[in-house]
Structure 1
Amino acid sequence: MTVLCAFAIGTSNLPSIVTADDNAADYVELPIDEYDREHWAFLPIEQVKVPQPSNAGWRQNAIDDFVQFELGRRGLQPQPEASRRTLIRRLSFDLTGLPPTPTQIAEFESDKRTDAYERLVDRLLDSPRHGERWAQHWLDLARFAETDGFEHDKLRPNAWKYRDWVIAALNDDMPYDQFIRLQIAGDETDPDDGSALTATRFCLSGPDMPDINLIDERRHTVLNELTSTIGEVFLGLQVGCAQCHDHKYDPISQADFYRLRAIFEPSVPLKKNRSLSTLSESFPSAHSSHVMLRGDFRSPGPELSPGAIRVVSSKTHAYSPKPSNKSAGLRTALADWLVDAENPLTARVMVNRVWQHHFGAGLSSTPSDFGVMGSEPSHPELLDWLASSFVKQGWSLKSLHRMIVTSATYRQRSRLDKNATDSERDAWAEAQKADPHAQLFSRYPRWRLEGEAIRDAMLVASGQINWKSGGPGVRPPLPKELVGTLLVNQWNVTEDRSEHDRRSIYVFARRNLRYPIFEVFDRPSANTSCSRRDISTTAPQSLHLLNSQFSLNLARSMAESIAKDHPTDAQRVDAIFLRSFSRLPTPEERIDVQDFLNASPSTNAEKLAHLCLALFNSNEFVTVD
């Protein structure tokens, strides 16, 4: 029996399918109707009119108009601007993942120019450390690692080149539409550019089992993982839920999933015992594409043609490959479709991700699920205004960063000032009651540093950090008991000891073993795309910061460098606090520290080292106000 499957797309004229072989069960794809398209994320991005709050004295840019308008509707007031010390620490960690130095703090505090804050923002965005910071956010999404995973977790020798490509692209402010194009179709669009080929490692960065006996099973698993990641990262949709059956909640059919998968099928070269690398199209393709019934690679259903997700498509926003004599143009067409002005998702999703990393949560709190079961945005008009502005500004991520961090919303205090007036205390209490999680941005939400930033902050504070950029991942020493769990040669310590103090983004990313401080502070496993890390509070975190050889060594290095540069105890204590907290100790803290130094029977060097270690273990060291 041959089954004809009509794949209607509302009023769209996009290609439909197709036939099933005689052994396939019947499969009928439901059409997309207008109700399906009425979900907020599938509607076109609106050209929003900026509201005009009654009190314009607080605002710095249009972001504040949206936020203040929403606060005003609830009878709430925003917080005043934070102190300069708080702002430089917040900005430095946010934009570069590093604490400010005492010299940088002093320079910012003494800068009397009216645009001192904006100059600080520009300096941090122009720093090469900016790309190193924000690349980690993207690598979480890309499920980046330098090994395959699974039992043998074999090395992928050139995987690090993708990490370096991401860092360079973000530092150069590569337009986000180009950033997408190269990662999906760099080998098609720029065939003579080696870095464009490297960019396609995004697609094949997921886990793999190269030694599996059934190559068809491996192909099925790799392609399904790739397709799911494309949907999550660029569209903010859980398309992977449609691998085995039509999506239970969103208007995404099983055929939608396998049409999207078909775009990549000719470009995933698999060889037994060979790790995944870059995309390479086999043209013309020898493979036909099918719906895999019940998600089983042994049960091909109706044959289908490559295509994009129907609910995001229309007559004027259609997936349209343009074949050449060298390529079918499938992935180039997908990239064009993703960054088309009529695509309602791509800009919204990325703007929401950037907002999330500046404020701890996105305007939608489900950054990789804009579907029916995801969270609606707290400020939908602001999200659309930002998305529209993002595209108009040439998809510039640095312009988006600059707009967000120069807003009054971002500059707010995160806690009540101890010298606050009664009216300020009343406003604070009301905001905490009505906006307990700061989702309305009645204050700046405090957030905890990731494990990578904590390690980098310790290296900077101790004066031990090695600023070398790029290259294969380095392998600092591991505890012996951890090495004993690995196979032979899975963590050969880098011989050059100076390499051990490189920034955390350059630490070797093994899929089956996370570097200890990263693991205890919730680094994802890299087996799936991670849009938002867990934030746990556990005993191993404090135990690691207090007892690890890494912490103790850096505390001693910090104490030695400070003792060398400062002759008196008072100066040394000030220097330790400045390096750790970006502030001087309070009078009460000075008394406590002096009592500690006087009571300890250790040598001066050991006393200072234990003070440094204590500050590494404080909540203030790992928290950004």
Structure 2
Amino acid sequence: MNARTLLVAFFCCLTLAVQTPAQADDISKEQAAFFEHDIRPLLIKRCFECHSDESEKGSLRLDSRGALLAGGDSGAAIEPGKPEESLLIEAIHYESFEMPPAGKLPDAEIALLTKWIQMGAPWPGGDDALIRHNAKDKITDEDRHYWAFQPLAKVNPPEQEEARWNDNPIDRFIRQQQIAAGVTPNAKADKLVLLRRVCFDLTGLPPTPEQTERFMQDPTPQAYEKLVDSLIDSPQFGERMATHWLDLVRYGESDGYRQDAYRPHAWRYRDYVIDSFNQDKPYDQFVLEQLAGDEVAPDNPDAIVATGFLRHWIYEYNQRDVRTQWQIILNDITDTTSDVFLGVGMGCAKCHDHKFDPLLQRDYFQLQAFFSPLMPRDDRPAASSQEVAEYQAALAKWEAETSEIRTKIDELEKAPIAGAIKKQTEMFPEDIQEMMNKPVDQRAPFEHQLAEMAYEQVEMEISRRRGNVGDDKKKAEYKKLQAELAKHPKPKSLPTAYSVSDVGPQAPPTYITGKERLGEISPDFLTVLDASPVSIEPSSSSTGRRSELARWITSEDNALASRVIANRLWQWCFHRGLVATPNDFGNLGTPPSHPELLDWMSQEFMDQGRSMKSMIRLLVTSETYQLATTRTAAADKLDLDNRTYWRSQVRRMSAEQVRDAMLAAAGKLDRTTGGPSVSGTTPRRSVYLKVIRNTREPLLDAFDFPERFSSSATRNTTTTPTQSLLLINGAFPLQQAERMASTIRKAGKTNEDRIRAAYLSAFSRNPTTAELEGALNFIQQQLTITREHAAEEKPLAIAKLKKLDKSGVHLKPDAEVSQLSASLQDFTGASFTVESIVQLDSIYSDASVRTIASQWNGGNTQPGWNFGVTSEKSRYTPRNLIMQLVGANSLDQTVYEVIPSGIHFELGRPYYACVQYVRDDSGAAEVHFFVQDLTEATAPLQTAVVKTEIIAGLRNDYPFVIGGRTGTKSCSFDGLVAEVRAVPSALTPDQLLIQQTGEVNEVVGHWKFAQPTGSLASLEGGVDLTSGDSAINSDTAAWVDFCHILLNSNEFLYVP
């Protein structure tokens, strides 16, 4: 036996020798009875006033055996089995300390404590078990009788004499309070008001022309109910309801903090929420899947995606203090869970007992203990068992085929990866390094959590080091191996979701922060609701804690949670909860305006299978929901704040509704459902926009879109100068006004018809006679003004191309006309073609690009494309024909890519130059180039085909610009442009302009600059061109101004 073995053996023997007697596991029934009968009451009566979780004088607590062993400022309070060496006995004898200070204990009580310590200080439940009597003392009968914690009252809807108020049970409660207040309710709102109100509330969108006509022309009494049913059954219902839920759960698609990295798979949780509302998933199942989908349905991909609820916390990617970061994450999950499902803000109880509500600090960490075993998972596929099995089989086959190649690649990467691991690991504190270096099977659960979180940073460094294999010889070998590997296509990875699991069946310990000496905290429910201990059965792979929490939250006995969701459903329909503070049912919140109605709704919701659609339908078909918004002096005098719901509330549209309604009015709203999130430049619904926490969409941000760092139950409704400026001068409202103008000009041949079309698009109604007359006058005045400005337009400079009998417009950066623009709004689809005949006269001395045509502002994060020629210092060599793209790759990441053709221009020589972006049915994309020198009749047609990783997301609202880019004079063309043709598809070679043999039916713009007058007005191209980077001509401008006014009107922005 060596010295190390002897030392270990000696240490083990020593440890056994000094174990204290009467541990929790081996105390006798007699000892337990002695403690419960004599010691527990004595400690509570004599010691807890100064030494418990309520007060820790001298940093000493006496409410657990662990606390007594840990002691306070003067050391351990007891030495089990040795009363003569115990400070507690010394203090109660008044030999040094004098405790309790109010007077020495009776001898009988001193004898009891001495006997107890002599027995080994037996403590039922173990060292960490707290005496719960003190917590119960803190929760008074008055606390337990607070309205939110009471069982649901058994109430029946009161009968009403008026038939109007007796059909729907909601109305019967509401009318009862109106009668008590002496308030007379409004009449029902007219049909158009109801149409717009219920469409915005249930779908978030204005009614379509078809919905408007169908409802307004339906004279039957059931017309409104049929409308409601159609809206609830539409896909847009889930999209609207999801916005409420996503606010609550602080849904975001970025990390927050300074880097704010994008989370490309977060959208799957958003789609899960939308689908759950559309499927009318029972609320208890909805809760269970989000809190514990991995525990209750591990083979259900939807349930796995649902646990994304637990992944919306903010995260600092380079934080070395992983202990603190993990605690911040657990705190966030604890806070959000209590806010969302229990409607009580527990944040204050994190540091101390809540000052106003009966929420103990211990309650906070008991709730947190349900989440302490969490393991973030990014590797679980959002796929069925069959899909997983098929993928694994294909992957195994690929791995077998490529084993030798990959082994050689691994050998080359071995050194750089080892360096990356060493470098990153050494950046962490020593204790974290030890955890990271431990074999996984030797880590304790908490160690594994911290080690894996730290290792995320190591993985980032490894990915950066891959390919850095050393000298040129190794690089050449590496490149060759990668080429060999590419000959064996790897099976496409299954989609993944941000989800969670437990670290295993054993949970890491939970402690009250800063009071770890008090021992481990077990998972338990709020003391004020349920003081009995919770019983949890772990499985082979999970602790089972979260599923137990979810079942408690949705239990029929949990009146608080039932009231919370009932109140939310009311709020989503009436825009104010019966409890006006939906995330705070405590003393700092507001009591319910209609407590009996809230309890009836809570019970009815459970009785009807927790169907959210059923309850929402009941609410919006009530007479109360359908009231007019008219205010009366008599009713205002009795109920100015409308607490009795005698009228409906006029409200401004939400941020998403403002944007979506503008797109709908313009006729450009893309109603595609689901899928990866998109940028704000696309016409998708706002619920599908990327939610980047630190870089929010300007329009949504201005109209009070929440920051999504924490749970938001209500939204602010502000009125600010920023909103006005954005509506008047912002790019998005102006672009939608342009699109709307383009749409309505095609809707009728007369100005009257166009004005009617505009009113129908914006307000779902026809204009009145006075409105029609005023609009006609406005259009005429604007046409006069814009035509006067157009008469002052600078003429185009026209010149001959060298060696050709063809003219072109001379575009150059310092010319009066340096760019030309057209409004080609949906040009950039799956494939498109841009053809040109140009003569380039110069290139830049730096790396800037001479742009032939574009739909882009030059920003590397803004979607778009640019077709041009490189300059002197370009990394792609000068005079190279290129395409620049900014769009989404297969991982839905926004990337910037330069696609070089390898075909070079000669200056001063005319060329036919064409580029095509082509995406095939498999989703792969390529860029095709075609170039021909026009000075030689026999010159060949040069071609190039280059793959691109950008497969989507190029579309934007920018105009089609010839000779430059939107919003900048840099990267302008210098030379002659004779002809440009734009086709929203990929042409075959015989359809190219240069061939002129195949017919093309989809041309959206074809401009020939051969007119000797050099006037834009004389051009024929299918779409009007304007000088500069704005695509609005004089006649269009008048209609754009008119549409812009409608989109800024109160009738558009407010819902009565």
TM-score, normalising length from structure 2? 0.53
1:545 corresponds to which letter in structure 2? L
Is contact 1:352-1:363 (8 Å) kept?
Answer: yes
Aligned twin of 2:392:
none
Deviation at 1:588, TM superposition (A): 3.0
Is contact 1:237-1:370 (8 Å) kept?
Answer: yes
What is the SS of the residue equivalent to 1:370?
coil
Aligned mate of 2:135, from 24, 30, 33 = 30
What is the SS of the residue equivalent to 1:454?
helix
2:201 corresponds to which letter in structure 1? D
Task: Spell out, residue by residue over 1:414-465, the C-alpha distance to the aligned partner (whole angstroms, 9 max, x if none).
Answer: 126xxxxxxxxxxx22112222222210101111111111100011110111
Deviation at 1:284, TM superposition (A): 3.0
Aligned mate of 2:584, from 358, 369, 386 = 369
Task: Spell out, residue by residue over 1:333-382, the C-alpha distance to the aligned partner (whole angstroms, 9 max, x if none).
Answer: 10110011110111211111121121121001100000111100100011
Aligned twin of 1:473:
677
Output the CA distance in 2 between the equivalents of 1:196 and 1:574: 49
Aligned twin of 2:291:
184
Work out the percentage of aligned pairs sharing the same amino acid: 40
Aligned twin of 1:460:
664
Aligned twin of 2:841:
none
Output the CA distance in 2 between the equivalents of 1:502 and 1:17: 58
Larger displacement relative to structure 2 (102-111 or 126-135): 102-111
What is the SS of the residue equivalent to 1:310?
coil
Aligned twin of 2:642:
438
Distance 1:465 1:607, change over 3 A: same
1:88-487 map, 5 Å: 88-269=195-376, 271-272=453-454, 274=456, 277-285=498-506, 287-293=508-514, 301-313=518-530, 319-415=534-630, 428-477=632-681
Deviation at 1:303, TM superposition (A): 1.7
Task: Spell out, residue by residue over 1:186-245, the C-alpha distance to the aligned partner (whole angstroms, 9 max, x if none).
Answer: 000001112211111112212122321111101110001100110010000011210000
Aligned mate of 2:1045, from 600, 606, 614 = 614
Deviation at 1:38, TM superposition (A): 0.7
Is contact 2:203-2:238 (8 Å) kept?
Answer: yes
Is 1:534 matched with 2:738?
no
What is the SS of the residue equivalent to 1:264?
coil
Output the CA distance in 1 between the equivalents of 2:64 and 2:456: 35
Distance 1:540 1:597, change over 3 A: same
Deviation at 1:166, TM superposition (A): 0.5
Output the CA distance in 2 between the equivalents of 1:406 and 1:217: 50
Is contact 2:506-2:542 (8 Å) kept?
Answer: no
Is 1:573 matched with 2:621?
no
Output the CA distance in 1 between the equivalents of 2:603 and 2:507: 41
Distance 1:23 1:126, change over 3 A: farther
Output the CA distance in 1 between the equivalents of 2:596 and 2:170: 10
Structure 1 stretches (4+) deviating beyond 4 angstroms? Answer: 1-8, 23-29
Output the CA distance in 2 between the equivalents of 1:261 and 1:286: 12
Output the CA distance in 1 between the equivalents of 2:706 and 2:221: 42
What is the SS of the residue equivalent to 2:625?
helix
Deviation at 1:289, TM superposition (A): 1.3
Aligned twin of 1:547:
729
Is 1:63 matched with 2:176?
no
1:438 corresponds to which letter in structure 2? N
2:238 corresponds to which letter in structure 1? G
Aligned twin of 1:423:
none
- Structure 2 residues without counterparts, runs of 5 or longer: 1-19, 24-38, 53-62, 78-129, 377-448, 458-496, 787-1033
Task: Spell out, residue by residue over 1:245-283, the C-alpha distance to the aligned partner (whole angstroms, 9 max, x if none).
Answer: 001111111110001101100113451274993221012
Distance 1:538 1:18, change over 3 A: farther
Larger displacement relative to structure 2 (325-334 or 253-262): 325-334
Output the CA distance in 2 between the equivalents of 1:319 and 1:286: 15
Deviation at 1:321, TM superposition (A): 1.7
2:1045 corresponds to which letter in structure 1? A
What is the SS of the residue equivalent to 1:442?
coil
Q: How many pairs does the alignment contain? A: 579
In terms of fraction of residues, the more strand-rich structure is: 2
Output the CA distance in 1 between the equivalents of 2:329 and 2:769: 60
1:609 corresponds to which letter in structure 2? V
Is 1:605 matched with 2:1036?
yes
1:553 corresponds to which letter in structure 2? Q
Output the CA distance in 2 between the equivalents of 1:274 and 1:308: 33
Deviation at 1:322, TM superposition (A): 2.4
Is contact 1:17-1:303 (8 Å) kept?
Answer: no
Distance 1:513 1:336, change over 3 A: same
Larger displacement relative to structure 2 (268-277 or 47-56): 268-277
Is contact 2:135-2:527 (8 Å) kept?
Answer: no
Aligned twin of 2:744:
562
What is the SS of the residue equivalent to 1:180?
helix
Output the CA distance in 1 between the equivalents of 2:455 and 2:185: 58
Is contact 2:505-2:540 (8 Å) kept?
Answer: no
Output the CA distance in 2 between the equivalents of 1:48 and 1:210: 53
1:505 corresponds to which letter in structure 2? V
Output the CA distance in 2 between the equivalents of 1:535 and 1:274: 40
Distance 1:326 1:613, change over 3 A: same
Distance 1:549 1:302, change over 3 A: same
In terms of fraction of residues, the more helix-rich structure is: 1
TM-score, normalising length from structure 1? 0.88
Output the CA distance in 1 between the equivalents of 2:341 and 2:311: 15
What is the SS of the residue equivalent to 1:501?
coil
Output the CA distance in 2 between the equivalents of 1:593 and 1:18: 83
2:506 corresponds to which letter in structure 1? S
What value does the CA root-mean-square deviation take over the aligned residues? 2.4
Output the CA distance in 1 between the equivalents of 2:343 and 2:680: 36
Is contact 1:67-1:440 (8 Å) kept?
Answer: yes
Output the CA distance in 1 between the equivalents of 2:569 and 2:64: 38
1:56 corresponds to which letter in structure 2? A
Deviation at 1:17, TM superposition (A): 7.3
Output the CA distance in 1 between the equivalents of 2:64 and 2:772: 75
Deviation at 1:30, TM superposition (A): 2.8
- Structure with bigger RCO (C-alpha 8 Å, 6+ apart): 1
Q: Which has the larger radius of gyration?
A: 2
Output the CA distance in 2 between the equivalents of 1:130 and 1:505: 12
Deviation at 1:563, TM superposition (A): 1.2
Output the CA distance in 2 between the equivalents of 1:274 and 1:17: 38
Output the CA distance in 1 between the equivalents of 2:518 and 2:698: 46
- Structure 1 residues without counterparts, runs of 5 or longer: 9-15, 417-427, 478-499
Task: Spell out, residue by residue over 1:551-609, the C-alpha distance to the aligned partner (whole angstroms, 9 max, x if none).
Answer: 11111111111111212212211221121112222333223222211211234422221
1:535 corresponds to which letter in structure 2? T
